Structure 1
Amino acid sequence: MTSQDVTGRVALVTGATSGIGRAVARRLARDGLVVVVSGRDQPRAEKVVADIEAEGGTAYVAAADLHDEASVGALARRAIEIGGGHVDVLVHSAGTGILGPTAETAESQLDYIFGINVKVPYLLTGQLAPAMAARGDGAIVSVSSIASGRGIDGLAAYAATKAAIDQLTRSWAAEYGPHGVRVNAVAPGTTETPMIAPARGFFESLAERAPARRPASPDEVASAVAYLVSPHAVHVHGAILPVDGGFTAVT
């Protein structure tokens, strides 16, 4: 594979109907990959596919409400079917968050956030990475967060899930890297997505502490993902790439 040869590679992007996932799906399609757009909302997934096709790209819908092994397995099988027998790139962008005190977090909320943010990526990687390893080629990128390595009041549960993603990234790099599968993550800071809307002031105050002094756009995060899945990052394994305007450099 040459430094520019990505045409025809198949990418599955979870959480691709909004925010960072949507931007990643559109960017990878512009780069020439065939994109499988996954999300819970079928009409929104179809809109993302339509946007990609309007830009000259190729994409397909694989709507999925990911919450357990059966739903993950069904998505993996559908993505492989769409991809003609293979998935070359996997981007874990589906996620959810909780903002609030630990004592006010219900057990059901804790189970839900760990299920979406940790269990689903774990199971989906288990479904798709072995076949990548057997072929000797593949790339996996997870969307982590600056919260994974910082103590931020009110983000304990969310931060714990992203710290788990960071460690899974390192462990998967050790497990699958020797077989040609590159596993990395991006760690955005405050990003202009629907997730920050309920507490915009809180998240904007975090962004103002960084050198860039503003939130990132989803497209800026997507550019980092595109780099990590591309052949330009061929020697990058197990990295957690901050896309945070310098937040982690100065705090």
Structure 2
Amino acid sequence: MTQEFSGSTALVTGGTAGIGRGVALRLAALGADVVVHGRDPERGAEVVAEAGAAGGRARFVAADLSDPGDVLRLAAAAGAVDVLVNNAGVYRFAAAADSTAEMFDLHMAVNARAPMLLVGALVPGMAERGRGAVVNLSTLAASIPARGAAVYGASKAALEIMTRVWADEFGARGVRVNAVASGPVRTPGTVEMGEDTLAAVAHSTVLHRVGELDEIVEAIVFLASDRAGYVTGTVLGAYGGQQAIG
């Protein structure tokens, strides 16, 4: 296996489960020193051990991304990084009448404010060194209305516009900033939604299926790699295609 990230350090938020775990393990396998963020030290230790067993290098840092002070502590603990993957996120669905201020604030804090603070703390260092990559995890719900997902979609739409602005801000100094808009993906979290719900969502895609975790992982890793050296300010849609109207 190629070691295309050899000599690089990567921070992956939400790296102890689902897509984030897959990204952390993949980057470690490709030679990166990976800082795995999460909230559960036990799950963090499992990811670190799995990366090590495969010959990779990883360490775990716990942080609460809803707390801005803790986000900055995470940035300080990560140190100088070459790749930042803002994967961590919350998603709670509710109709307008059932949405609360607390729900809105949590989504904006974790899905938009935390990436903003990490970019502000870590990316200027990348720019000084003349290279780096940021990949933010977004969702199809940021651009296509999804019932009950107004708050979640709004937080990710905020992340997408920040992605484009950051690409402009840092591009001339060698830092690329992109996002992956994921569609329905089979993870332990989404499986809890039930097979009927997953099947209904799957049939809304051109490919008529939900995505597999590795398919999203590969999109993120590609954008983080030098293979995407001329790609920045882009939101890559990885959601199985959008059906035509009519």
TM-score of the aligned structures, taking structure 1 as reference length: 0.92
Match of 2:182 among 188, 193, 199: 188
The structure with the largest strand share of the pair is: 2
Q: Secondary structure of 1:205's partner?
A: helix
Distance apart, 1:204 and its partner CA: 3.3
**Which residue of 2 is the match for residue 41 of structure 1?**
40
**Which residue of 1 is the match for residue 170 of structure 2?**
176
- Mean CA deviation greater in 202-211 or 160-169: 202-211
* Alpha carbons of structure 1 residues 209 and 96: separation in structure 2 relative to 1, 3 Å: same
Q: Distance in 2 between matches of 1:106 and 1:192?
A: 28
Listed as ranges, the gaps of 5+ residues in structure 2 are none
* Alpha carbons of structure 1 residues 170 and 249: separation in structure 2 relative to 1, 3 Å: farther
Do 2:5 and 2:27's aligned partners in 1 also have CA atoms closer than 8 Å?
no
Q: Distance in 2 between matches of 1:79 and 1:114?
A: 23
Do 1:142 and 1:186's aligned partners in 2 also have CA atoms closer than 8 Å?
yes
- Mean CA deviation greater in 134-143 or 208-217: 208-217
**Which residue of 2 is the match for residue 228 of structure 1?**
223
Residue 112 of structure 2 corresponds to residue 106 of structure 1: no
**Which residue of 2 is the match for residue 245 of structure 1?**
240
Listed as ranges, the gaps of 5+ residues in structure 1 are 81-85
Q: List aligned pairs for 1:122-201, cutoff 5 A.
A: 122-200=116-194, 201=196
Q: Distance in 2 between matches of 1:250 and 1:8?
A: 44
Distance apart, 1:24 and its partner CA: 0.6
Q: Distance in 2 between matches of 1:216 and 1:7?
A: 29
Runs of 4+ in 1 over 4 A off after TM superposition: none
Q: Distance in 2 between matches of 1:220 and 1:39?
A: 22
Distance apart, 1:43 and its partner CA: 0.5
Q: Distance in 1 between matches of 2:28 and 2:136?
A: 18
Distance apart, 1:100 and its partner CA: 1.7
Match of 2:214 among 200, 215, 219: 219
Q: Secondary structure of 2:133's partner?
A: strand
Deviations 1:21-49 (A, max 9, x none): 00110111111111110001111011011
**Which residue of 2 is the match for residue 60 of structure 1?**
59
**Which residue of 2 is the match for residue 83 of structure 1?**
none
TM-score of the aligned structures, taking structure 2 as reference length: 0.94
Q: Number of residue pairs matched?
A: 243
Deviations 1:46-92 (A, max 9, x none): 10111111111111111112223211111111111xxxxx2000000
Do 2:82 and 2:132's aligned partners in 1 also have CA atoms closer than 8 Å?
yes
Q: Secondary structure of 2:91's partner?
A: coil
**Which residue of 1 is the match for residue 86 of structure 2?**
92
Deviations 1:132-177 (A, max 9, x none): 1111110000000011110111111111011111101100001111
